[in-house]
Amino acid sequence: MNKSQAETSLKKVASESLKLDPSTLIVLYEIDISELASDITLKKSNENYNPAPFRFHNMNSLNGVTLKFQSNNYISLPIQAEGFEMNSAGTLPTPTLTITSVEGLEENASFSLLKSNFINFENFVGAKVTRIRTFAKFLDADQNGDTIEGVGSEEDQNAEFPRDVFFIERKSNENKNSIQFELSSIFDLQNLKLPSRVIYASRCPFTYRGEGCCYEYKSKLNGPTANDNQTGISGTFGYNAVLPDFAPPVANANDELISGKAGDYTPEGLGNQTGSNRFSGLYLTGGIYSSGDVVFIEKNSIKYYFVSKHTGSFSNVCPPHSTYWEPDQCSKTLKGCKLRWGNSGKAFTGDGITSGTAKDFLPFGGFPGTNTRTSIN
């Protein structure tokens, strides 16, 4: 279906719904348990069971008639569906489906299979339920050889209202005559909060040197160790942000420059690997360190850097011991971001000293424009 076909079909649905005497509104349902069945093998011919969706309708005027739409058959079942309506209160609907037992229905193979697998598939909890609404005239013209008045007279497989998708939350009631399911939206199932990202005016929520922040070494030539490569990752600002070649320790959480607190350490000197500034890689117990040495410890794939500030050599003093090590931390403010990014920052491509190019963007994760009353440095 292309854009033009979609627009035409939507206009047909809108036009029909505004008529004084519209075609009969048809409501179709699908229960898809394929995800539940993916890891389950029914003991029937020792084959994996990968069922097609159970399709049905509950149109009283078409009782016992199988309808066909988009080449799929929807059998007639005595199912009561309630609570699909939306309201302006902002709460999500929690519909219910009630399947009733009727004499003679057991002869229907699809329904028998549906009932027989309630237990096998944990009462269908998590199964996908789709409600499809269209008009009788837009159903398939070929109704399995049956001629039904008003059905399929203007076949259009794209003419339908937006689909309602829910998931079975739980079996809310069961007796010998019926089973009732309570449905919920995907948002309820995943316990989502919208917006999922909290908006801060002056604070960055990104993990320093993690995704979003992107201030981390890319090249092993400038990294702490030969095995310390981190590949470029997609940025979160509408384009591809690439990890810089040069991302040295800069400041602590108070935006105090490490170059003034750790002997003669300078980020530029670290880039040249000269003097007392050198990468020592992952901190090792028993290693010998001196002023200006840079080490890191790693947790959850994030590297935390420390610069030695102790006069003279030492060993067996693990970061973050504040007497011996100055931590490389971000204040999570614009100032802290500017110390690392932009024309005045330390994030470069190239060698970062003479021929390097500054990263000319600022991946600050806050939203300064949301608070016009606060001065943000």
- 377 residues of the chain, pLDDT tens digit each: 788 888 888 999 999 999 899 888 999 999 888 777 654 544 344 445 567 788 888 876 677 788 899 999 998 888 888 888 777 666 778 889 887 766 545 445 555 666 666 767 777 888 889 999 999 899 988 887 777 777 888 888 899 999 999 988 888 887 777 788 899 887 665 555 666 677 888 889 888 988 788 788 764 334 444 344 333 333 333 333 457 777 889 999 999 998 888 878 888 777 545 445 577 788 888 888 888 888 888 888 888 999 998 888 888 999 989 899 999 999 999 999 988 887 777 776 654 444 445 566 788 888 888 776 555 45
For residue 360, the tally of other CB atoms under 10 A from its CB is 10
pLDDT at 49: 57
Last residue of a domain, one of 189, 212, 231: 189
- Domain residues for the domain of 141 are 3-189
Q: Are residues 246 and 147 in the same domain?
A: no
Which pLDDT does position 226 carry in this prediction? 36
Quick check: helix, strand or coil at residue 11? helix
302 with 322, same domain: the answer is yes
CA-to-CA distance for 326 and 205, rounded, in angstroms? 23
Structure tokens at 195: 């917006």
The residue out of 154, 189, 224 marking a domain boundary is 189
How far from each other are the two terminal CA atoms of the chain, in whole angstroms? 52
Residue 115, helix vs strand vs coil: helix
The CA-based diameter of the chain, rounded to the nearest angstrom, is 96
Q: Judge if 131 and 255 occupy the same domain.
A: no
> How many Cβ atoms are within 10 Å of 188's Cβ, its own excluded?
14
| 130 and 264 inside one domain | no
**Are 76 and 215 within one domain?**
no
* Strand, helix or coil for residue 111: helix
Examine the domain organization and report whether 345 and 288 are in the same domain. Answer: yes
Please say which residue of 189, 218, 244 terminates a domain.
189
Residues 164 and 303 grouped into a single domain: no
Kindly state whether residues 21 and 159 are assigned to the same domain: yes
| Residue 52: closest CA among 27, 74, 76, 78 | 74
Q: CA gyration radius for the chain?
A: 32
Report the domain count for the chain: 2
Element (H, E) at 67: strand 67-69
User: Exposed (0-12), middle (13-18) or buried (19+): which is 240, by Cβ within 10 Å?
Assistant: exposed
Q: Are residues 32 and 174 in the same domain?
A: yes
Q: Which of 11, 18, 9, 27 is nearest to 136 (CA)?
A: 27
Residue 89 shares a structural domain with residue 176: yes
CA 228 to chain centre: 28
Q: For residue 303, what is the enclosing H or E element?
A: strand 302-308
Q: Where are the beta strands (DSSP E) in 85-206?
A: 96-100, 128-135, 164-174, 178-184
Token pair for 179: 């089973």
Question: 258 with 290, same domain?
Answer: yes
Location of structure tokens 């079942």? 77
Residues 6+ apart with CB under 8 A from 231: 218, 243
Do 170 and 229 lie in a common domain? Answer: no
Please give the Cα distance from 342 to 43 (Å, whole number): 64
